[in-house]
Chains A and B, each alone.
Chain A
């Protein structure tokens, strides 16, 4: 179970950006009024510095960190590049574009392999490729049979390598008409998936994609219809489907569920904007397994509207309330998120190792357990991965005679 370990209320810092990012030491977020990039200590959650990022009225819509600097995109055709050491900010408008949405995050993603960032654009069938090294923008045309008419990219994340979660090889793009595109920096479509459009009885019903989170081999997708899909991305198959808050309120404002980047197959879900005074649960989700599990935090949020970020060291939730210009940051421990290993063996009788089957069930409490691994082992001590700080129920079965044993452990 992931736990809230620190809460910091930050008052009178203006309208808060819905997204924030961290380099593991500092937390960076931005506000629209004043138009400022904020730098906080992640340990103490106290302000370190801030800098003005835009010269004219615009709303920062997302940011990403690149080596040595941050890129802040906005609701108008202007981008800020900020040196993270000096906080010197440069504003660039040439060939820039406003992002597609302003309240859902996932509007820009940095690909460490190419050294380029890709942002959504409020332009039909286009995105913006950003080169942080020289501070330039270029149009990134989405060429795909399903991307037609007024279709736009609604969100973008980096796709990580299969072996671990650090190498970024390509981007995954969600569109306003329910298409997931994997693209490289040459705008080549490497793969695509169409979200379900049926059943329906009238004209084709599309689901707009609001958020994406990826951890090999699975991909989480939230939609404006209020559905959360977990795909096995490798096979393009849906392995889980969940009802969740829908995406557009009665005045057409995006309020659906946003999802933050994955930390080793764990992510957090929350509404992009305020839904109601009562708030909503903070929901953690383990989605790397074939049986994705939702883990409800031990506290409900009375604030409303939040964005989240995760690093391998911290999970930080940024909550926003409109009155009186106050927002809170909550930091979560990483217990049960990082991977580690635990040895095991099967004896029968005691002292004699035998082959068999080890089933590890991650125990997050009644209703919230899930099968994390199912491993056949030989008559040897075997090392099996598990999550640091996680509590497990381990079932050992000797298949020869169907004998079993159970142990519980917290790593």
Chain B
């Protein structure tokens, strides 16, 4: 797990939103001068023009393989046809944050749907349907209290995960219907107001969710059973933290505020498909890390460093992985522990999950797999030893 290479693109303009165009292997971002810009992740050169937008973009996503969608802090939504740079404005949005916030928009290009988290209105999401070219406000009545959507990410086709200002994570469908939910544990202390930290960043892979809250704690959750597997403090400031959608279980993490002029801001690679330890990808300069992304096909990643106005492009070390589906004998939920016994015996997975569960394991390794169904010391275990 290490950096393959780093290339710097001097964007020379402030970043307000961004996303990966996997089809064309490009990073596209909204700039502070209300333009839309694209860079090729292979040649590192700009693609197209500095396309003027009707308003500064506060959230960008791919609506389909050929078009992008830009949301603003007002009601304007803009559709951009990438090949021709034809731009069409639509109304019907509901203001995103007027200052930079990551993960404000997520999309399902296969369904041609994008959903934005309306930062300023309680229980409000904005959906743009690329099939009918209409925008609509989703206000799920099942959301408790006055929770405000704070960040959103694609879980899988047709399903999104939304983090709220009240510490909840909601799984919704493309119409905003709640499919599943989870609240982070509250704190047992003297500050009730802080007992409900905002969820400010999310990433999902193979049944796991990583959530970063406004108390700057990163929590690993097995989404199938809502089991908290790990929680660590990951930032010293109270400001934003970025994650991106995962690629083969890997996400890119970074602090959205540069700490100071002498301490550089690392970029982290987190492989949470198997609860692997984060790796430091890059440490240099001291730019705040805002947007980030990975091309899930090529493994090429990028981050945008604010105050430097640079895009860092890198490759994640290719992993040779293989899916393994694990089932309990009776279909009940179960605990699984997988050890890598190729050399020193090391745990690579430990979770409580539903059956069946598909996990990613590195090939070329020898494993011991232990499954326990039920609770208590008398519950039965099953053990397998295999090589992948």
Contact = CB atoms under 8 A, between A and B. Distances in A.
Interface stretch (A32-40, A166-174, A361-369): A361-369
A243 interface: yes
B217 A281 contact: yes
Nearest to A362: B347
B136 interface: no
Contacts of B214: 276, 278
Interface stretch (A48-56, A106-114, A195-203, A341-349): A195-203
Given A271-B233, A278-B194, A301-B187, A369 B279 contact: no
B270 interface: yes
Given A248-B260, A257-B233, A275 B381 contact: no
A303 B236 contact: no
Given A199-B283, A367-B351, A406-B383, A245 B185 contact: no
B233 A225 contact: no
B337 A393 contact: yes
Contact of B280 (A227, A248, A303): A227
B350 A369 contact: yes
A243 B264 contact: no
Given A245-B236, A281-B233, A395-B370, A201 B346 contact: no
B368 A242 contact: no
A399 B347 CA distance: 20
Interface stretch (B9-17, B41-49, B169-177, B251-259): B251-259
A308 B4 CA distance: 39
Contact of B377 (A227, A243, A276, A408): A408
B125 interface: no
Contacts of B236: 226, 245-249, 255-256, 271, 275
Interface in B188-232: 188-191, 193-195, 197, 213-218, 220, 222, 227-232
A283 interface: yes
B190 A321 contact: yes
Contacts of B264: 200, 205, 225
Interface string A171-214: 00000000000000000000000001001111001011000000
Interface of B: 2-3, 6, 8, 185, 187-191, 193-195, 197, 213-218, 220, 222, 227-238, 253, 255, 257, 259-260, 262-264, 266, 268, 270, 275, 277-285, 335, 337, 339, 344-347, 350-352, 368, 370, 377, 381, 383, 385
Given A243-B218, A278-B214, A278-B216, 14 more contacts: A201-B282, A202-B284, A202-B285, A241-B279, A243-B278, A245-B234, A245-B236, A247-B236, A248-B262, A249-B260, A279-B194, A303-B189, A393-B337, A395-B368
